[in-house]
Chains A and B, each alone.
Chain A
Amino acid sequence: MSTALQNLVNQPYRHGFVTAIESDVAPKGLNEDTIRMISGKKNEPKWLLDFRLDAYRRWLKMEEPTWSSVKYPKVDFQAISYYSAPKSKPKLDSMDQVDPELLRTYEKLGVPMHERATLAGVAVDVIFDSVSVATTYKAKLAEVGIIFCSISEAVQLHPELVRKYLGTVVPVGDNFFAALNSAVFTDGSFCFIPKGVKCPMDLSTYFRINTQDSGQFERTLIIAEEGASVSYLEGCTAPKFDTNQLHAAVVELVALDRADIKYSTVQNWYAGDENGVGGIYNFVTKRGLCKGVDSRISWTQVETGSAITWKYPSCILQGENSIGEFYSVALTNNHQQADTGTKMVHIGRNTRSTIISKGISAGHSNNSYRGLVRITPKAEGARNYSQCDSMLIGDQCGANTFPYIQVKNHSATVEHEASTSKIGEDQLFYFAQRGVGTEEAVSMIINGFCKTVFQQLPMEFAVEATKLLGLKLEGSVG
C-alpha cells in the first residue's frame, strides 16, 4: 500500500479521553450475589431479579459462540466489573444537577445534553458506564403520551409495560451474550409510543464507557403501538485503554399493527490502536419483532469502531405485509474485526425484506457480512432482496460474505447480489491526475459506495456518519 493510503487510514481516535469522575464501581467478578447486588441497587421488583437469575443460570450452561469469523482471546468474565456508576447521581428530571464534569464530557463528544442544545429537536438519553444520567425533552414527549426514559426508571414507573415486553423478542436464553446481558444489564433506554402517535422528534441514546475494567451491558426496549411511529438514534464512544472492554447489549423492538420503527446506529467505540491493542469487544443482540400487520422495522447502522463487532440486527416478520429493512456500513481498519449482518425471518404472508450491506476494510482488518434470510412455510408471497458489497483499501485486509438462505415456501422470491471492489493506487492516481488529492478522492469513493445506506439516516446523523468515515480514513496525505 502506498504511504498516502497508509497515512489516510490511520487517523487517531478522537473520543479516547477518560473523564475524571468519582465512580461507584462494583468489585470484579460474577455470581448470583453480584446479580442480587445490581438488582438491589436498582431497587428492582422480584420478577426482575428472577428474570436475571434465570438468565444467569442458563448462561452458566452455555458456551461462548465460535461460529463467527472473529478471533480473540477468551474473555475472563470474572475480571470484569459489572456495575459502575458516577457517584454524584443526578436527579433524573433536572439537567442543572448533572455533574458538570459529565456535562463537559458530553460536550466534548458533541452530545447535546441541555434541552436548548444546538442539535434541537432530538431527545437524548445518555448512558454513562452503567447508568442513565440524563434524558432530555421528557416532559414535552409526555404531553403526547410518549414514555422515553432509562430502563431503570421505566422499571420503577411503568413496571407493567416493561414486564409485558422485556425478553419477548430476545428471550433470556437466546444466545450466550444475550443471556449474560439479561442477567447483568444495568441500564439502557426505554421508549413507548402509544397508539396512533407519530413521535414528534427523533429519540436518541448516547452510550459511553468510561471505566477501564467495567463492562457495559445495556438493554433497550422500544415499543410502538398500533399506528405509532418513531425514529431512534444511537451513538457510542469509549476512552482509549490498552485492555479490552466488553460491551454486550440487547435491543428489543416491538412494532404492532401499522407501526413503524426506524433504528439508526453510529457506532464508534474505541477500536484499539494500530497494533490491535485495546478496544471494545462489541457483542450485541438486536432484534425487532414486526408483530402487527403492515408494520415496519428498519435498521440502519454505521459501524466504525470496536476491536471486534459481532452484531446482527434482525427482523422477525410475523405480521402480514410487514417489512424488515437492514442498511449497513461497516468499516474496519488496522486490526479490527467485524462479523456483522442481519437475519430476516419471514413468517407472515407477503412479508418483504431488504438488506443492503456495505463493508469497507482497510489496514489488516477483516470484515465479514453474515446474513440469514429464512422464509417459513406460511410466508406466502414473501420477498427478499439482498445486496452485499465489499470495498478493500490496500491489500492486507479481507472481506467475506456469508449469505444463508432458507426457503420453505415456493411462492417466495429471494434475490442476492454481491460485489467486491478495491480502492487501488490507479484509481487514486486518476483523481490525482485531475488535481484531486488522496483524501478527497477516498472520501468521494467511500461516500459513493455508502450512498444508499447514508440516504436512510436522519439528516444530522448522515452528516455525522460522513464525517466519521472521513475521520477514520482521511488524514494528512503523503
Chain B
Amino acid sequence: MILQDSKTLLEVRGLRATVNGTEILKGIDFTVKAGEVHAIMGPNGSGKSTFAKVLAGHPAYVVTSGEVVYEGRDLLELKPEERARAGVFLAFQYPIEIPGVANSQFLRLTYNSVQRERGNDELDPLEFDDFVREKMKLLEMNPEFLDRSVNEGFSGGEKKRNEILQMALLEPRLAVLDETDSGLDIDALRVIAGGINQLSTKDNATILVTHYQRLLDYIVPDYVHVMDGGRIIKTGGKDLAVELETRGYDWVGEEFAAARVTA
C-alpha cells in the first residue's frame, strides 16, 4: 500500500553493473518506500535477476557507477551477509542445492545469524523445531522437508516454497522475490501468495519480479515497472500489468525509444 509520510527504504540512483566485463544494468533509478509492493516485469534477459542479485551483493556482479541507499546506509558498502542481516532478502529464481546439509540445520543457522544481529535470542534445535513447524503449516509444507538436504532433489515448486519459508523465518524489511511464482501449481500459488501477504506490514516492502499477471491478482502491486535492456523504461500502476498481459512489451519499448528521441 502507498502510505502518506512513509519513509524511504531503498533508493537506487543511476545504477550500472557489469558481469564478466559486459554491462547488464545501464542506469537504474528506483525508489521503494515502506509499506509498498513493486512489481518488476520485462522480457527475458532484460536484467531483472541481475538487478536483484546486485541488491543482494552477488560477488560476480561489479557495480560500475550509481548508488544504492538502504535505510539511510550505503548498501554497496555491506557484504552480502551483512545486507541479509540488515533485512534484505532475495528469493532466488533458481535456488541452489546444498547436498549433505540438512534443511533444518541450515534454516536454524540462518535464523540465528539474523536474530543475533537484531539482538534477539537464538533458538536451540528443539525450540527451533517447534517454531519452524508452525511457519511450515502456514505455507502448507510437509515437515519432512526439514530432514532433507537443502533444496536437494526438491521439485521446482518445492524449492520456491522453501524460499518463502525462509522469508517467513527471517522476516525481512526488503524482500525481492525473483519469479517465485514460476513453477508453482495453482493451489501453491494461492497458498504462497497468502503467506507473502501475511508477512506484509507497513514497515516492510516487497519487490516482485514476475512474468505473469496471475501472481498480481493475489498480491496487488502499488507500482509496476517494465525493465528492458538494463533500464526501467516504464512505470505505472497495477493496470499496467494487465495491459502488458494483452499487448506484450514491444509497444513499451517503442514508446521509450520515441520519448528519448524527442527528449
Contact = CB atoms under 8 A, between A and B. Distances in A.
Contacts of B80: 429, 432-433
B101 A444 contact: yes
B96 A449 contact: no
Nearest to A423: B98
A436 B98 contact: no
B95 interface: yes
A424 B129 CA distance: 29
A430 B149 CA distance: 14
Interface residues of A, number: 22
Interface string A415-446: 00000010001110111111111001000110
B119 interface: no
A433 B80 CA distance: 6
B33 interface: no
Contacts of B95: 430
Interface string A326-356: 0000000000000000000000000000000
A432 B78 CA distance: 12
Contacts of A451: 100
A419 B109 CA distance: 26
B166 interface: yes
Interface stretch (B55-63, B203-211, B234-242, B244-252): B55-63
Nearest to B97: A427
B109 A436 contact: yes
A425 B61 CA distance: 12
Residue with the greatest number of chain A CB neighbours at <10 A, chosen from B57, B79, B117: B79
B131 interface: no
Residue with the greatest number of chain B CB neighbours at <10 A, chosen from A426, A433, A440, A448: A433
Interface in B69-91: 79-81, 83-85, 89-90
Contacts of A12: none
Contact of A444 (B58, B60, B105): B105
B96 A448 contact: no
A433 B89 contact: yes
The contact size tier of chain B is 20 to 34
Given A425-B59, A425-B60, A432-B84, A448 B109 contact: no
B96 A478 contact: no
A202 B100 CA distance: 30
A435 B83 CA distance: 8
B1 interface: no
B110 A436 contact: yes
A445 B101 contact: yes
A2 interface: yes
Contacts of A448: 98-102, 105, 149
A477 to B, nearest CB: 8
B59 A433 contact: no
A421 B99 contact: yes
Nearest to A421: B99
B46 interface: no
B180 to A, nearest CB: 14
Interface string A391-426: 000000000000000000000000000000100011
Nearest to B101: A448
B256 interface: no
B92 A430 contact: yes
Contacts of A426: 96
Interface in A1-44: 2, 4
Contacts of B109: 436, 440, 444
A397 B85 CA distance: 33
Contact of B170 (A2, A429, A435, A445): A435
B100 A445 contact: yes
B113 A434 contact: yes
Nearest to B113: A435
Contact of A430 (B96, B99, B114, B117): B96
Contacts of B106: 434, 444
Contacts of A445: 98, 100-101
B51 to A, nearest CB: 15
Contacts of A430: 92, 95-96, 98
Contacts of B110: 431, 434-436
Contacts of A421: 99
Residue with the greatest number of chain B CB neighbours at <10 A, chosen from A425, A429, A444: A429
Interface string A445-466: 1001101000000000000000
17 contacts: A421-B99, A426-B96, A427-B96, A429-B80, A432-B80, A432-B81, A434-B113, A434-B114, A435-B84, A435-B110, A435-B113, A436-B81, A437-B81, A444-B101, A448-B99, A448-B100, A448-B149
Given A432-B57, A434-B84, A444-B101, 16 more contacts: A2-B59, A430-B98, A432-B81, A433-B80, A433-B83, A433-B90, A434-B106, A434-B110, A435-B110, A435-B170, A436-B110, A444-B109, A445-B98, A448-B98, A448-B105, A449-B100
Q: Which 4 A-B pairs have the closest CB atoms?
A: A448-B100, A434-B110, A435-B113, A432-B80
Interface of A: 2, 4, 421, 425-427, 429-437, 440, 444-445, 448-449, 451, 478
Interface of B: 56-60, 79-81, 83-85, 89-90, 92, 95-96, 98-102, 105-106, 109-110, 113-114, 117, 149, 166, 170
